[in-house]
Chains A and B, each alone.
Chain A
Amino acid sequence: GAGVSQTPSNKVTEKGKYVELRCDPISGHTALYWYRQSLGQGPEFLIYFQGTGAADDSGLPNDRFFAVRPEGSVSTLKIQRTERGDSAVYLCASSHMNRGLNGELFFGEGSRLTVL
Chain B
Amino acid sequence: QKEVEQDPGPLSVPEGAIVSLNCTYSNSAFQYFMWYRQYSRKGPELLMYTYSSGNKEDGRFTAQVDKSSKYISLFIRDSQPSDSATYLCAMNGGSQGNLIFGKGTKLSVKP
Contacts and interface: CB of A to CB of B under 8 A. Distances in A.
Contact of A56 (B36, B49, B97): B97
Name A's interface SS.
loop
A56 B32 contact: no
Nearest to A58: B98
Given A40-B8, A103-B32, A109 B42 contact: yes
Interface residues of B, number: 28
A70 B102 CA distance: 32
A102 B92 CA distance: 7
Contacts of A95: 97
B21 interface: no
Contacts of B44: 43, 91, 107
B46 A104 contact: yes
